[in-house]
């Protein structure tokens, strides 16, 4: 620096000051045209125009997808990739260190690069979230992140996309993305930042039902189904979702969206999950999930959970999950708030709104508690690690789930946040609750989407504002302990007890029937499918101790051909016998008899009222 004359250095700085705003003002404006007319074939075509300079243009395919908590961008389904400039085909090469990065050689004189690409939506259950099956003969969900590239060097807030979408003939659509115009078969959207575009899925289909839930701001359901019959929904179902919207507003005291769309797919041929957005959620259930009461019961938690995310996850977001684009890795250490608190509040709202009855809410809570109470993997792996490991482990199979530990920061934190709610109520003699935390943490001023980041300290400080307590110590212990047993203090502190008896709850019966499985995990530590396939065994419980493991197939019980009833009979009869009962199982082509020394009968969880204490849980789920 000393070698430069002072005047030149000054000029250099002036130049810098003058050019920075100019550069910032020229963030690329990209046009994107998606052709979804071949959705039933599960192939989508996209064309983009990207401003570029001669040299190397580095483009990213979105990799870390908000809400998916991992590098799940379906790069293997990005196909047909071609680049041209001035009618000339350009050379491109994938980055050797990151497969989601593409380098394009732009020749001198080229202004815009035209990119064309195809996205193949996989059939069946391959892929995670938006990477999984998303199109059928009658409907589709467009997740923009799967159908675009973006240039390096800009944040997703800085890049502007002007999107157009062609739909199959006769298909209608719903989306939170503001529409500029629509003509025959094509929708033109208003320019939006890349952040907003990726946050705004489009649902489209031949059978599409729009259900208004509330006005000022507008809240609606946009439901596409594989049949007209699947949309023949009893009106009280929508009354409960109207109440959900109302109860959420009361819980948080404000909202952070311009309008809100429940983008809901009903199909047996798309992947089933929920993905949160600021102004919508992309939720997908079975075709008859709104018309068949059993399927409705099993899907009851989905929409309340995803709706809560508009506040908890999108508006309030862990700093470690708030990244400038979709390339920078996300860190999942605070998922116990992002997902755990969302699960607690979503379940609570499902009861306050009537989406679940109080009994259905308690059955679900009992099952969560019982499952966590039988989680053998907690002996080696703490709760914090189930969140930290998500980018590496979220696609793990169900086999060995109990020993590996699945995504326990969802369910175990339902129990922990209930515990927090009861502590707040005890400390403040019933004057404060988690509702006060939600007002402070998620409320504020209503308005369009914005992101307010937080850290562990912010959570502890807000809890202390509601009720002074050793919250740092509480959460440190909850996140790092190794059990044994589930944290049941919230259930017990709210006037209830987790008990086991021989009667299956409505929820467990429905799950067994609908999901074709058998719940013997609370008695002998054995999870099976209806046909005898063992999906999991719980380490230390009778089936595992006898030598049975996931992947085997039970074919007979005490010499009789296997069925759910035959197994249940054996469990019941074992109570009056000191002899073990026998399971014949097939294991990698070999048949072997396993002796189960168990005499405790059938066992299923439920919550029982503790009359020595007030019914705080009843108060927690009472409509506001
Ligand atoms: Zn969630």
Q: pTM for the complete prediction?
A: 0.94
pLDDT tens-digit series, residues 235-277: 999 999 999 999 999 999 999 999 999 999 999 999 999 999 9
Q: Is the pLDDT of residue 15 over 50?
A: no
What's the whole-number mean pLDDT along residues 117-134?
Answer: 87
CA of 456 to the centre of ligand 1 (A): 19
CA of 333 to the centre of ligand 1 (A): 14
- Residue 127: what pLDDT? 73
Task: State how far the Cα of 446 lies from the Cα of 624, in Å rounded to an integer.
Answer: 19
Q: Is the pLDDT of residue 428 over 60?
A: yes
CA of 310 to the centre of ligand 1 (A): 10
- Residue 564: what pLDDT? 97
CA of 206 to the centre of ligand 1 (A): 29
Q: What is the dihedral of CA 12, 17, 18, 22, to 10 degrees?
A: 120
**Quick check: 438 and 421 in contact, CB under 8 A?**
no
What's the whole-number mean pLDDT along residues 411-429?
Answer: 98
- Residue 12: what pLDDT? 39
CA of 502 to the centre of ligand 1 (A): 32
Q: Is the pLDDT of residue 422 over 70?
A: yes
**Quick check: 281 and 311 in contact, CB under 8 A?**
no
Spacing of C-alpha 325 from chain mean position? 20
Q: How confident is the model at residue 125 (pLDDT cuts 50, 70, 90)?
A: low
CA of 370 to the centre of ligand 1 (A): 21
CA of 81 to the centre of ligand 1 (A): 33
SS3 340: helix
Q: Where does residue 484 rank: exposed (0-12), middle (13-18), buried (19+ CB within 10 A)?
A: exposed
**Quick check: 374 and 403 in contact, CB under 8 A?**
no
CA of 410 to the centre of ligand 1 (A): 8
* Whole-Å CA distances, 513 to 287, 374, 401: 17, 22, 21
pLDDT tens-digit series, residues 465-518: 999 999 999 999 999 999 899 999 999 999 999 999 999 999 999 999 999 999
For residue 468, what are the contacts with CB-CB under 8 A and spacing of at least 6? Answer: 427
Task: State how far the Cα of 68 lies from the Cα of 66, in Å rounded to an integer.
Answer: 5
Mean pLDDT of the residues in the chain: 95
For residue 122, what are the contacts with CB-CB under 8 A and spacing of at least 6? Answer: 42, 74, 77, 131, 132, 133
The proportion of the chain whose per-residue pLDDT surpasses 90, expressed as a percent, equals 93
CA of 509 to the centre of ligand 1 (A): 25
CA of 316 to the centre of ligand 1 (A): 13
CA of 343 to the centre of ligand 1 (A): 7
CA of 171 to the centre of ligand 1 (A): 29
CA of 199 to the centre of ligand 1 (A): 15
Task: State how far the Cα of 436 lies from the Cα of 467, in Å rounded to an integer.
Answer: 10
The proportion of the chain whose per-residue pLDDT surpasses 70, expressed as a percent, equals 96
CA of 280 to the centre of ligand 1 (A): 13
CA of 355 to the centre of ligand 1 (A): 18
CA of 238 to the centre of ligand 1 (A): 22
Q: Is the pLDDT of residue 9 over 60?
A: no
CA of 150 to the centre of ligand 1 (A): 26
What's the whole-number mean pLDDT along residues 518-522?
Answer: 97
CA of 67 to the centre of ligand 1 (A): 7
CA of 308 to the centre of ligand 1 (A): 8
CA of 342 to the centre of ligand 1 (A): 6
CA of 191 to the centre of ligand 1 (A): 28
What's the whole-number mean pLDDT along residues 298-317?
Answer: 98
CA of 71 to the centre of ligand 1 (A): 17
CA of 339 to the centre of ligand 1 (A): 5
Q: Is the pLDDT of residue 441 over 80?
A: yes
CA of 194 to the centre of ligand 1 (A): 22
Pairing assessment for the beta strands 316-318 and 452-454 based on DSSP bridges: parallel
Which of 31, 36, 262, 40 lies closest to 150 in space, CA to CA?
31
CA of 393 to the centre of ligand 1 (A): 17
Q: Is the pLDDT of residue 597 over 90?
A: yes
Q: Where are the beta strands (DSSP E) in 406-515?
A: 452-454, 496-501
pLDDT tens-digit series, residues 156-192: 999 999 999 999 999 999 999 999 999 888 999 999 9
What's the whole-number mean pLDDT along residues 341-364?
Answer: 98
Q: What is the DSSP string of 249-263?
A: HHHHSS---SSEEEE
CA of 233 to the centre of ligand 1 (A): 25
Q: How confident is the model at residue 586 (pLDDT cuts 50, 70, 90)?
A: very high
CA of 29 to the centre of ligand 1 (A): 32
CA of 189 to the centre of ligand 1 (A): 28
């Amino acid at each position: 620096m000393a070698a430069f004359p002072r005047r030149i250095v000054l000029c250099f700085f002036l130049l810098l000051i003058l050019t920075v705003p100019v550069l910032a003002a020229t963030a690329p404006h990209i046009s994107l045209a998606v052709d979804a007319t071949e959705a039933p074939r599960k192939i989508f075509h996209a064309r983009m125009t990207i401003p570029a300079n001669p040299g190397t243009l580095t483009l990213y395919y979105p990799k870390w997808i908000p809400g998916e908590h991992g590098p799940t961008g379906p790069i293997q389904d990005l196909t047909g990739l071609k680049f041209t400039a001035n009618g000339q085909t350009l050379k491109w090469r994938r980055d050797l260190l990151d497969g989601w990065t593409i380098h394009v050689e732009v020749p001198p004189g080229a202004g815009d690069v035209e990119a064309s690409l195809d996205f193949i939506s996989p059939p069946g259950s391959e892929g995670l979230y938006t990477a999984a099956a998303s199109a059928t003969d009658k409907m589709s969900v467009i997740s923009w992140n799967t159908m675009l590239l973006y240039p390096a060097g800009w944040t997703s807030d800085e890049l502007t996309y002007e999107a157009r979408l062609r739909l199959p003939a006769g298909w209608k659509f719903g989306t939170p993305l503001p529409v500029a115009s629509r003509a025959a078969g094509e929708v033109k959207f208003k320019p939006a930042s890349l952040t907003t575009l990726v946050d705004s899925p489009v649902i489209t289909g031949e059978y599409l039902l729009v259900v208004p839930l509330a006005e000022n701001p507008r809240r609606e359901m946009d439901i596409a189904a594989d049949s007209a019959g699947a949309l023949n929904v009893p009106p009280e179902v929508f009354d409960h979702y109207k109440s959900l919207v109302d109860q959420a507003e009361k819980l948080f005291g404000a909202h952070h969206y311009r309008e809100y769309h429940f983008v809901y797919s009903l199909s047996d041929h798309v992947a089933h999950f929920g993905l949160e957005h600021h102004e919508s959620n992309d939720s997908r259930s079975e075709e008859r999930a709104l018309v068949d009461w059993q399927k409705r019961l099993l899907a009851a938690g989905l929409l309340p959970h995803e709706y809560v995310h508009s506040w908890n996850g999108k508006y309030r977001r862990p700093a470690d999950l708030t990244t400038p684009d979709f390339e920078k890795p996300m860190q999942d250490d605070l998922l116990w708030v992002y997902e755990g608190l969302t699960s607690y509040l979503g379940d609570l709202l499902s009861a306050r709104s009537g989406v679940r009855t109080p009994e259905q809410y308690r059955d679900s809570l009992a099952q969560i508690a019982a499952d966590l109470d039988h989680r053998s993997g907690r002996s080696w792996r703490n709760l914090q690690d189930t969140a930290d490991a998500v980018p590496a482990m979220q696609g793990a199979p169900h086999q060995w789930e109990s020993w590996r530990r699945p995504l326990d920061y969802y369910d175990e934190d339902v129990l922990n946040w209930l515990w927090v709610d009861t502590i707040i109520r005890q400390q403040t003699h019933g004057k404060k609750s988690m509702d006060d935390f939600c007002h402070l943490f998620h409320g504020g001023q209503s308005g369009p989407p914005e992101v307010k980041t937080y850290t562990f300290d912010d959570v502890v400080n807000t809890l202390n504002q509601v009720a002074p307590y050793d919250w740092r110590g509480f959460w440190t212990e909850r996140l790092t302990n190794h059990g044994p047993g589930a944290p049941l203090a919230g259930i017990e502190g709210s006037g209830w007890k987790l008990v086991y008896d021989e009667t299956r709850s409505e929820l467990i019966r429905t799950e067994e029937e609908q999901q074709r499985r058998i719940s013997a995990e609370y008695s002998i530590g054995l999870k099976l499918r209806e046909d005898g396939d063992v999906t999991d065994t719980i380490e230390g419980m009778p089936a595992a101790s006898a030598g049975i493991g996931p992947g085997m197939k039970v074919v007979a019980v005490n010499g009789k051909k296997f069925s759910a009833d035959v197994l249940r009979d054996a469990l019941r009869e074992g109570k009056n016998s000191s002899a073990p009962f026998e399971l014949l199982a097939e294991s990698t082509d070999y048949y072997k008899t396993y002796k189960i020394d168990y005499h405790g009968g059938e066992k299923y969880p439920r919550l029982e009222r503790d009359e020595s204490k007030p019914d705080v849980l009843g108060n927690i789920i009472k409509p506001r």
